[in-house]
Each structure stands twice: as C-alpha cells, then as structure tokens.
Amino acid sequence: MYQIENVSKTYTQGKRTVHALRDVSLRIADGELLSVQGPTGGGKSTLLQALGGLDRPTSGSIMLDGKDLATMNDAGLTRVRAETVGFVFQNFNLIPTLTAQENVETALVPMGVTKADRARRALEALESVGLGERADHLPGELSGGQQQRVAIARALVKNPTVLLADEPTGNLDEETRDEIIDLLEGLWKEQGLTLVMVTHDSAVAARTPRRIRIAKGRLKELTGS
Amino acid sequence: MFLTYLRRELRNRRKQTAVVAIGLAVAIALVMVVSSVSAGVRDAQADVLESVYGVGTDITVTQNAQPGEGGGFGPGRFDFDAEDGEATDDGTREIAQERLRTSPGTTAFDASALDTVAGLDDVTGVAATLELTSTSFSGEMPDFDQLSEAGEPGAAPGQAGDGDGQGRGQGGPSSFEIDQQTITGINPAADAVGPLTTTEVADGRTFEASDTGADVAVLDAVYAEQEEIAVGDTITVGGTDLEVIGTVASTTGEGVETAANVYLPIDVAATLADMEGQVTTLYVQVDSSSNVEAVSTAIGAQLPDATVSTQADLAEGVSGSLSTAASLVSTLGRWLSVIVLLAAFGLAILFTVSGVNRRTRELGTLKALGWPQRRVVGQIAGESVAQGLIGGVAGVALGGLAVLAVNLSGITLSGSAGAQIGGFGGRGGGPQMGQAMQDAAGEAAGGGPAGFGGGGGGGLTGTVSDVVLHAPVSLWIVVAAVGLAVLGGLVAGVVGGQRAARLRPAEAFRSLA
C-alpha cells in the first residue's frame, strides 16, 4: 500500500524553521492497522498529512499504490483525497450548519454522486455507526462521541482503501473512547481497510497490531511489522 | 449540496448576512433614488424646454442682438408729435401708439437660412418663427398747445411704476398705460416641429395651411382668459384687425402659459412688423440623437452669425429650483451614491474575508475531503453573491418606497427657459417720463417732436413652468440596482474566494493547532 522513502518535511513558523520529519522511511501493507505515538510536535500529524496527500514532503517519496504523492500535482492529490483516503480528525471537523446526514454527504460531493444516491449512502453509513436515527440532527445537537461517529461515517461513506485518524479519541471520555476504538476496529476488520491512527493514548495504541513512534521528526518502530 | 450548504450558511450566519445585505440595500436604494430623481429632473427639464421649444426640437437657431442693433434691449422709444392724439376739454391729449419689433435680446435674420438648414444631411424637419413683442402706449398727456398758450412751464415730474404712470403737471393731468404682448409668427403649414407642438386646442381651431396670408390669430388660452378675449373676437396687432380663430393650451401642465400670447401666420407677422423675408428662430429636427452635434456644427459653419443651441445647451439655460435640483442631483447625489456604494462593497468584502478566516477549519476539512478548489471558491462566492442578491432585492424595495415617497410628496420644481422678453423697470415711467414731458412741453413751444424714453432693459424672464417632480422607476434602474448589489457580492466573493483558494488543508490544520 504505502512505501515511504527518506521523507523529510520542514516548514517555517514565524522566523523559526521546524523540522517536522527527518529522513523517515516506512512501509505499510494493505489492510494493516498501525498506531503512531509520540510527543506533541514530534511529527505524527505531519506524517499523517503527508500520507493523506494534504501536504507534500520537502524531500523523499510517498508511494501509494504505485503513485508518488510527493510529486503529484494539486489536482491529483485532490483526487486521491476524494477517492482513496478517508480522514478522521481529533476535533471531528463537522460543518456546524449541516445535519449529520448532510455532513456525511459532503464526502460524496467531489465524486459526482447523484443527490438521491448521496442521501441513501449517507444514511447507510450513519446506520453502520449506529446513528441512523440522528441523521437530521445538527452537530451541535450531538454528543462528542456521536459527532466522532458522524465523522467516521463521513470518512467511510466513499469506501476508501485507507483511513487516517488523527487522535480520534483525543477529545472523548474513556467510555466513549472505547466505543469509538471498538467501532474503528470492527470497520477495519469488516472492510479490510488500511488504518493508520495517531494517538497519545497508550491504551489505544496497545490495541493495534503495529505501533511506531515519532519524536523530533525521527521514526522508531515499536513492534515488528 | 451547493444550495443546501449556501442556504444553511446564510441562515446560520444571520447577523453577517443581515449586515452585508443592509449595507448593500442602503447603497442600492440611494443609487436608485438618485437615478430616479435624476431622471425625473431630466424629464422636468424636458417639459420646461418643450413648453418653450416644442416637442421634437433638437436644435434651435437664433441670432442674438447686439446693443445698438435693431434687436431690442427694451421697448425703444415712443415718439409723439405735439399734434398727436385728440385734445380734450380738461387740457390733455389722448394718445395711443404701438411698437412691433423683435423680442428683446434677439434679432431677425434672413429667411433663406431655413432652406440652408433644411438642405443639411440628417435634418428631418425645420420650422421658422418670427418672434415679436408688441408694446403699446395709451393714455392722456398734457395738451402742450394749451400749455404754451397759457405760458406755463413744463409739467412736473410724473410718478410711475410697473408700466403704468401718472403725472400731474400744472398744465393738466397725465395718465397712461403700457401693455406688452409676445407674438410669434409661425408657418401654418408646418406643424411637425415648433412651439405649437406642445399645445392643444382649447377652443376653436389652430392654423391650417389655408391660413397663410390670412388676418387670423390663435391666442394662448391663459392670455385669452386674462384679457377676456374669445374665439370670434377681433384683436388689433400693428394696426391691423385679426380674427381670433382659436385658443391653445400647454400640454405640459394646467395653467401653464405657452411660448407666446399671440400666434399669427408668419407672413402676416412679417408684414405687420415690416420684416418681410426675415425670421428670428429656426426649430430643427434631426434624424438621430447621435447626429445632433454634427448637424449643430454644420449649421454653425453655414450660418456663422447664428447662435446654435442643442437640447443639452438649452437645458443648461433652465433656471429656477429645477436648475438647483438638477445641480444637487448631479453633484451631491452622485458622489454620495458612489461613496456609500464603495463603503457597502468594502463592508461586504471585509465580512466575507473575515468569514473565510473564521471558517479556516471548515474549508480546510472540505479540501481534505477532496473538494476541488473551484468548488470551495464557488461556495464562498455563491454565498457572497446571494448576500448581494438579498441586499439588491431589499435595496430595490427600499429604493422603491423612497421614490414613492418622493412622488407622493408632490415636490414642485419651477423652471424658466429660453425666450428673452423685455421688462419694464419699475422706474420706467417715473423721472424719465417727467423729464420727457418737460422736454415735450419745451419742444411743443417750438412745434418739434416729443419723445418718451424707454423703460428698463430686457430681462431673462422667459416662460416659467411649474413642474411636479415625478421620479420614474424604470426596469433598467431596477436591473442595474440588483446588478450592482450582485456585483458587490461577486467582488466580495472573489476576494474571499481567493483567500480560501490560498488555503492549503495542512496549513489550515497547522494554523489551528
């Protein structure tokens, strides 16, 4: 699935140059569940963004199914994000003015799915995460756990091959955290997704077959792959 | 999704939508009111001009009199001989005299100019008029024969004002009256252009081609009523009796006077004024408004002594509150509209950009979901244009109400234009008259002629019209108003969209970290 070779990423923050990734190399197989741990500012999110085509590395290559995301143009990256990769964010990142169902539908807009199909598939996705009855609710009317379920439904409604989750349980209590991890684990098994999950939580990381750690931009394998 | 998202955003950001829409609405309403009032003032000016120059006149050709020339600056002198008039028993003589000459400030020119102008390209109609002023003096003066027989000195200075005068010398009383009427000679066969085109028959009939050379007259209805003259009566002009065949009223408003008191066939007017083959004004119609300037220039080249005036030139000559309103609308109104419009555009841009900044995470998320850039930019621009549209519709409603209020308030504008008519100064019959009578008395002893000096000079007091301001709301004003508001929204959307387009999803998340 992913073959990452010597990836480095630097960016400027004010007058300071930040080395987010330093010569990172990594292979992720199809259908693998991988957790990324590390301190804040260590480079976890930068790696995830590079894997999802949200950002290009300063150097190195990120091959996804044989295509190098590092050299792909904007339109190509947009297409990859629309068709291949699903994202789940720590803050859910739902559109506050749209209902749960409409939020899920936003992921199908760039794929040119018809309105009726969008509505049907969005409702099915919400039912698959146990929120079919809350389809007409606005995000503000849902709990944190429910909002994250909507975000997961949005990430999965387009049937991606990769799911990238950036601290998906970071804003949730322990009970809800376990529910969300159960859900993600179940979907991973059911759909054969490649799931990369950034987390601070060791309990969450402990449930993944493979764990890596990134600190000061350098990657360290915690378990064998 | 586009419309759903747009609708939800506008509804959930009511305050921003309301502020932007209200800002644009106020600006649009102001633009609309200024445009409508401006059109109303233009129409009012056209009404005033038409009441003087007639419908369809694109150019007028006149020739200004120079002081000392035949054209009048005042009514001129009345010359009396000591033997003029009839002696009465109370030591006075009854005297009446009339002068018929071109209107003050104008002079006549050769009628061949009509053919010259008619022969020019793009000229579709020409009518000539001979505009005259008849000034008559009638009254009693001391009988100088009786004075000289009695050996008394000249009369004491008289006292007079407003055209009427009274003087009482030792040789007998004097009282007199000076009347003035404007007379326009027109071609009875030409009715397509000229001063009578903005009149309608009030009684009797107007001229027909067969009236050429006939001693007939058509009177202004207001003048006829004032003078208690009816159709079928006879009036005397230049010592000739003319049959009144009809009266005409102005079509520009009730009670508004037409361009002249009396209309005569032009050949009759020329004969009476001893001005055969001469005219004072040409009314020219041009085939297209785009050719007016060219024809005007061509006339100027052919008739170098003439004063050639287009409608635009004539509009500048409109004076009174109408002129003030036109000036106010064209300066203050226009600039105020531009400033408010720019402020509204700026407000819309500011709010849109601020909205984009506030929605960094939201827009970044959409990009992360694979929304193409054009779709994100389109969404922002769409919201902005919709705000503009709401502002435009509200602005049209607001502007419509404001224009309605203007129309219902019945603002009356007064304007005068065109013809220079002579006026007698208040002192016209005073010391001059007294001196004249003294002179007359002295001359009478020697049997020579006596004379009266004229009154004050001619004044620019042309036809005064009161026009109720009607500000029209045309379809194009509505379309332009909404278009302007949408343009404001579009400009704001483009600026905001550019901000959104520059947003890279990773940077959006990083900036929020």
The 3-state secondary structure of B33-80, one letter per residue: HHHHHHHHHHHHHHHHHHHHHCCCCCEEEECECCCCCCCCCCCCCEEE
Q: CA A71 to CA A69: how far, in whole Å?
A: 6
* Phi/psi of residue B472, nearest 5 degrees: -80, 145
Mean pLDDT along residues A30-55: 91
Q: Which position has the token pair 């990773």?
A: B506
Q: Which position has the token pair 């009478």?
A: B444
Which token pair is A128?
A: 């698959």
* Phi/psi of residue B429, nearest 5 degrees: -100, 10
pLDDT number for residue B54: 59
pLDDT number for residue B79: 66
Are residues B366 and A55, on separate chains, in Cβ contact within 8 Å? no
Q: CA A87 to CA A166: how far, in whole Å?
A: 8
Residues of A in contact with B506 (CB under 8 A): 46, 49, 54-55
User: Cα-Cα-Cα-Cα dihedral of B252, B254, B259, B265, to 10°?
Assistant: 100
pLDDT number for residue B148: 64
- What is the end-to-end Cα distance of chain A in Å, rounded? 14
Determine the residue among A73, A95, A156 to mutate to test chain B binding: the one whose Cβ has the most chain B Cβ atoms within 10 Å. Answer: A95
Contacts of B318 (CB under 8 A, 6+ apart): B45, B48, B49, B326, B415, B416, B417
B367 to chain A, closest Cα gap in Å:
7
Amino acid identity of B128?
Answer: A
Contacts of B344 (CB under 8 A, 6+ apart): B23, B24, B26, B27, B28, B391, B488
Residues of A in contact with B377 (CB under 8 A): none
Are residues A87 and B1, on separate chains, in Cβ contact within 8 Å? no
- Shortest CA distance to A57 belongs to which of A89, A90, A86, A24? A24
Q: CA B53 to CA B129: how far, in whole Å?
A: 11
Which token pair is B117?
A: 């102008």
Residues of A in contact with B382 (CB under 8 A): none
> Across the interface, which of B365, B504, B513 has its CB nearest the CB of A93?
B365
> What number of helices (H) and strands (E) belong to chain A?
7, 10
Percent of chain A with pLDDT over 70: 99
- Shortest CA distance to B458 belongs to which of B49, B107, B164? B107
Residues of A in contact with B504 (CB under 8 A): 54-55
Q: CA B205 to CA B263: how far, in whole Å?
A: 12
3-class secondary-structure state, position B385 = helix
pLDDT over threshold 80, residue A62: yes
Residue A224 to residues A44, A99, A193, Cα–Cα distance (Å): 19, 42, 20
Residues of B in contact with A107 (CB under 8 A): 369-370
Determine the residue among B12, B14, B16, B365 to mutate to test chain A binding: the one whose Cβ has the most chain A Cβ atoms within 10 Å. Answer: B365
> Across the interface, which of B4, B369, B509 has its CB nearest the CB of A110?
B369
Q: CA B259 to CA B265: how far, in whole Å?
A: 15
pLDDT one digit per residue (tens) for chain B, 513 residues: 888 888 888 888 888 888 888 888 888 888 888 888 888 877 777 776 666 665 567 788 888 766 555 444 444 566 666 666 677 777 777 777 778 888 777 788 888 888 999 899 888 888 899 989 888 877 777 776 666 665 554 444 433 334 444 544 455 566 777 788 889 999 888 766 777 887 888 999 988 889 999 999 999 999 999 889 999 999 988 888 999 999 998 876 677 778 889 999 999 999 998 888 899 999 888 888 788 888 889 998 988 888 888 877 766 666 556 666 666 666 666 777 778 778 878 877 888 888 788 888 888 899 999 999 888 889 988 988 898 888 889 988 998 999 899 888 877 777 665 543 333 333 333 333 333 333 333 333 333 333 443 333 333 334 556 677 788 888 888 888 888 888 888 888 888 888 877 777 776 666 554
Note whether A49 and A62 are within 8 A (CB).
no
User: Cα-Cα-Cα-Cα dihedral of B11, B17, B18, B20, to 10°?
Assistant: -170
* Phi/psi of residue A3, nearest 5 degrees: -135, 105
Domain ranges for chain B: 2-45+322-414+468-512, 64-305
Residue A178 to residues A165, A205, B408, Cα–Cα distance (Å): 15, 12, 73
Residues of A in contact with B12 (CB under 8 A): 96-97
pLDDT number for residue B445: 37
Q: What residue ranges in B233-306 does DSSP mark as E strands?
A: 234-237, 240-250, 262-265, 278-279, 281-286
Note whether A119 and A104 are within 8 A (CB).
no
pLDDT number for residue A91: 86
Q: CA B133 to CA B262: how far, in whole Å?
A: 10
> Across the interface, which of A45, A87, A97 has its CB nearest the CB of B9?
A97
Encode pLDDT of A92-146 as tens digits: 899 999 999 999 999 999 998 999 999 999 999 999 888 889 999 999 999 998 9
Which token pair is A122?
A: 């969005």
> Across the interface, which of B5, B368, B371 has its CB nearest the CB of A87?
B368
Q: CA B314 to CA B318: how far, in whole Å?
A: 7
Q: What residue ranges in B342-418 does DSSP mark as E strands?
A: 412-417
Which phi-psi region, left, alpha or beta, contains residue B255 (left: φ > 0; alpha: ψ -120 to 50)? Answer: left
Q: Are strands A210-215 and A59-64 parallel, antiparallel or unpaired?
A: unpaired
3-class secondary-structure state, position B435 = helix
